[in-house]
Amino acid sequence: LAKTTQPISMDSYEGQEVNITCSHNNIATNDYITWYQQFPSQGPRFIIQGYKTKVTNEVASLFIPADRKSSTLSLPRVSLSDTAVYYCLVGPRGGNTGKLIFGQGTTLQVKP
């Protein structure tokens, strides 16, 4: 499973756009990029997944450059309730679970 690197923490203010970048230099051809969100005292929950270019859903957008060695999770107009830890995970669909390590994640603090 490709190792990922994210900033440990980020601060933002309500109404701003937040971009969290994840580096995954050793990403394999069949790997997907998945982001999870974890609120305090809760389990992580799936936000978005992509393979290349751009993916958008009602919660976030995911930008993946052509070389796929990094990805950026974009949260539009954050609110206080977006304060959470965000994890980037890289791996194939199906097959051997391998070493599913979520890493330390990025702790996003949204301020009023």
Among 17, 19, 45, 69, binds other proteins (CB under 8 A): 45
- How do strand 31-38 and strand 84-92 relate by DSSP bridges? antiparallel
Dist. CA 67–CA 111, nearest whole Å = 34
- Binding status of residue 81 toward other proteins by CB under 8 A: no
- Binding status of residue 103 toward other proteins by CB under 8 A: yes
Closest approach, Cβ 49 to other proteins, in A, equals 7
- Binding status of residue 87 toward other proteins by CB under 8 A: yes
Closest approach, Cβ 15 to other proteins, in A, equals 26
- Binding status of residue 100 toward other proteins by CB under 8 A: yes
Give backbone dihedrals phi and psi of 60, rounded to 5 degrees, phi first: -155, 175
